[in-house]
Structure 1
Amino acid sequence: MDGRAVAPAAGTVLNALATGTGSAFAIDLETTATVSLTSDGVVSGEIAEEPDADASLIERCVDLTLERYAPEAGLERADVGAHVRTETEVPMASGLKSSSAAANATVLATLDALEIADAVDRLDACRLGVAAARDAGVTVTGAFDDASASMLGGVTVTDNTADELLAHEPVDWHALVYTPPERAYSADTDVSACERIAPMADLVAELALDGRYGEAMTVNGFAFCGALEFPTGPLLEALPDVAGVSLSGTGPSYVAVGDREALETVRGRWGERDGTTRLLRTRTDGTRPT
């Protein structure tokens, strides 16, 4: 049996590293996972764009999903294995939640292969991917904020210490993403530096829970650029034209939201920098089997 699912990337409203509370929103860049069940009990994985890359995250996603749900599909876990392959539009280690998208797509593709995807609560599926990310060591916080935004679509606010959804709202925004050439791995982040800006993160959380996402993003952007030593130039180049702008995740990407005309103007400024700019829309449909 084969299963297939796609999951969107996400941008940051509030980085959860300071306090455990985070917020993110889904954007229109996709990761696709294809899972083929086998009868040998072995789980293997590959990443199409980087065949030599570590596939432990997606393999762990399959393993946890089979452990939890194979019996519900009438199968013995010891008798069922799988091969998973992911393909993605999301640049890795860019702050655009590539790991969360890969985990969500893999979990749902596995459920699709088991033919029970429609019977499983999406947040339960999301939590499996978060657990796999922790096991694989690709996240510091568990990234429930990023994963929930990718799984549900729209914007979410979460308590990552309890994997609890605090708020969820569909949003229809234009989003501009600037990704410099370098990479930044979440697991290498200076957490202690982020914890020192906890009072600013508390303010961002208040703004986000009040629906003031653009202001929340901008405060988050300046605070975390300071903590993580990323340049604030891209933020200043976007203001005051955009509704909000932030460092996305632990960088190096930046994301801005606003009306299309304003973002086109900012795209011209960001386009003078080394790297890639993308003008996208937000996503409200989240992760889904295909």
Structure 2
Amino acid sequence: MRGKGTSYGAATIVNAMPSGFGGAIGVWLKTVAEVEITEDPAVEVVAADQEVDDLSLIVESFRAASGRFGISCGARITVRSEIPPARGMKSSSAASNAVVLATLDALGRECEAMEAVQMGVLASKKAGVTVTGAFDDACASLFGGVFLTDNTGMMVLRSWDAEELTALFLVPEERRYSGRVDAERLRSYARVSLIAFNEAIEGRVWQAMLINGLAMCRVLGFDAEPILEAVKEGAASAGLCGKGPAICAVTKPEYEGEIMDRWRSSGHPIIRTKIRGSSELGEKGRRGEEIDR
């Protein structure tokens, strides 16, 4: 029995680590998982572009989905991703979602899309790749659009479709894992984080992204200059992706060139994609279908 699942990356609006309240917006960077059920009870993972932490996450995601239906089995799991790992671009959420969906497909089982997200969040916590469970990231990864959530209670507080603007990512080579971030120091910035979250709840997501980005750069020790440069060159907003080090700028197409020119001086790779604006497209991802964009 074989199955396939697809999920996507996302950009941070508000980092949930300081306060437990977070927000994210989907982008068109794809992760595809394929699951083949085997008679051998072991789980084999073929994922050359995933880190060790993510391999543990992949196994836990498979176990969460198969265990949901009381099924004990092994599998051979292949994961392919366009999302650079450990840069804050939601590679773990996308991998977890995709593996859960592929497992359900392989087993011929169905569940509500939000339940699939919750399985992945619990698997992420068990694998130790997230501080908060990253419920906001997981929702934006699967459904697209904007999601503002209470990560502690796994509740969606607001969600809506977003304009499909250009999303530019400045991606340093440094890798940073959520499980290795100083959570206590982050919590000391809870008040600033809640100010940003309140902006987002009121619909001012770009202001929220900017406030969060500048604050998180300060607390996590990153240079905020690329954020300021992007906004200066016309970006609607820019901010730090998760715990970093990647920076995302959201912009109309006419400002792409100026922003990229500014960023090229850093010497870091730049990834250009689009905001994945419509949550309706999440239905295709739920069924494990690839979406060409």
TM-score class, shorter: over 0.9
Q: Provide Cα deviations, 1:6-43, integer angstroms capped at 9, x if missing partner.
A: 11111100000110000001111111100001233332
Helix, strand or coil at the partner of 2:26: strand
- 8 Å contact from structure 1 (residues 45, 84) kept in 2: yes
Hey, which bits of structure 1, 4+ residues long, moved more than 2 A?
Answer: 39-44, 48-54, 284-288
- 8 Å contact from structure 2 (residues 50, 85) kept in 1: no
Q: TM-score, normalised by structure 2?
A: 0.92
CA deviation after TM superposition for structure 1 residue 166, in Å: 1.0
- Tell me the residue number matched to 2:252: 259
Where does 1:182-193 land on structure 2 (aligned, <5 Å)? 182-193=174-185
Question: Does 1:223 pair with 2:215?
Answer: yes
Question: Does 1:46 pair with 2:46?
Answer: yes
Match of residue 197, structure 1, among 164, 186, 189 = 189
Alpha-carbon distance in 2 for matches of 1:129, 1:151: 11
Alpha-carbon distance in 2 for matches of 1:191, 1:46: 31
CA deviation after TM superposition for structure 1 residue 247, in Å: 0.4
- Tell me the residue number matched to 2:153: 162
Report the more deviating stretch, 150-159 or 259-268: 259-268
- Tell me the residue number matched to 1:7: 7
Pair 184,36 (structure 1): closer, same or farther in 2 beyond 3 Å:
same
CA deviation after TM superposition for structure 1 residue 282, in Å: 1.3
- Tell me the residue number matched to 1:74: none
Aligned alpha-carbon RMSD (Å) = 1.5
Residue-pair matches, total: 281
Question: Does 1:98 pair with 2:91?
Answer: yes
- Tell me the residue number matched to 1:270: 263
Where does 1:72-221 land on structure 2 (aligned, <5 Å)? 77-78=71-72, 80-116=73-109, 119-171=110-162, 172-221=164-213
- Tell me the residue number matched to 2:27: 27
List gaps (5 residues or longer) in structure 2: none
1:98 is matched by which residue type in structure 2?
A: S
Q: TM-score, normalised by structure 1?
A: 0.93
- Tell me the residue number matched to 2:242: 249
CA deviation after TM superposition for structure 1 residue 174, in Å: 1.6
CA deviation after TM superposition for structure 1 residue 262, in Å: 1.5
Pair 228,87 (structure 1): closer, same or farther in 2 beyond 3 Å:
same
Question: Does 1:282 pair with 2:275?
Answer: yes
CA deviation after TM superposition for structure 1 residue 246, in Å: 0.3
Alpha-carbon distance in 1 for matches of 2:205, 2:52: 38
Q: Provide Cα deviations, 1:59-88, integer angstroms capped at 9, x if missing partner.
A: 11111110103x5xxxxx23x322211011
Pair 168,232 (structure 1): closer, same or farther in 2 beyond 3 Å:
same
Helix, strand or coil at the partner of 1:273: coil
1:32 is matched by which residue type in structure 2?
A: V
Helix, strand or coil at the partner of 1:55: helix
Alpha-carbon distance in 2 for matches of 1:61, 1:253: 25
Alpha-carbon distance in 1 for matches of 2:85, 2:179: 13
Alpha-carbon distance in 1 for matches of 2:118, 2:57: 14
Report the more deviating stretch, 55-64 or 35-44: 35-44
- 8 Å contact from structure 2 (residues 54, 92) kept in 1: no
Identity across the alignment (%)? 38
CA deviation after TM superposition for structure 1 residue 264, in Å: 2.3
Pair 211,252 (structure 1): closer, same or farther in 2 beyond 3 Å:
same
